[in-house]
C-alpha cells in the first residue's frame, strides 16, 4: 500500500466531503470540497468563504483524524483547524 486509505478522500462518499454554498453576491451555487477554505465565484468573482462548521463537519468523516499518529502530517493545516475546534468544543462543555 503506497498511501493511507483512511485519508484518501477519493474513497469517501462525495456528499460527505463536498457541499455547495450559495454566493452571497449572486446566489450562484459553488461546489466546495472538505479542503476548500475559500473560492472565487465563477459568476460574479466575489470571494466566498466556507463556514468553519462545514469544514469541521466534513473532516469528521475521516475517522483517522482523531486516532492516527500521522494525521497531522496527512491533513496539515486542516488538522490544526480540526484540533482547535475540538479544544474549543471541550471548553464550552
Give me the domain span that covers residue 59.
12-92
> Cβ neighbours of residue 61 under 8 Å, at least 6 residues apart?
12, 16, 17, 34
Is 1 part of any domain? no
Is 3 part of any domain? no
Is 5 part of any domain? no
Give pLDDT, residue 43: 97
Give the residue with greater pLDDT, 9 vs 61. 61
Give pLDDT, residue 23: 97
Number of domain units in the chain: 1
Integer Rg of the chain from CA: 15
Please say if the pLDDT value at position 8 is more than 70: no
Is 46 part of any domain? yes
Is 2 part of any domain? no
Is 56 part of any domain? yes
Is 75 part of any domain? yes
Please say if the pLDDT value at position 10 is more than 90: no
Amino acid at each position: 500500500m503506497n498511501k493511507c486509505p483512511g485519508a484518501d478522500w477519493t474513497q469517501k462518499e462525495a456528499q460527505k466531503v463536498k457541499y455547495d454554498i450559495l454566493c452571497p453576491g449572486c446566489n450562484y451555487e459553488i461546489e466546495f470540497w472538505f479542503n476548500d477554505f475559500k473560492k472565487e465565484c465563477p459568476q460574479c468573482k466575489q470571494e466566498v468563504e466556507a463556514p468553519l462548521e462545514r469544514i469541521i463537519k466534513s473532516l469528521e468523516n475521516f475517522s483517522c483524524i482523531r486516532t492516527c499518529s500521522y494525521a497531522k502530517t496527512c491533513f496539515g493545516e486542516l488538522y490544526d483547524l480540526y484540533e482547535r475546534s475540538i479544544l474549543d468544543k471541550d471548553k464550552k462543555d
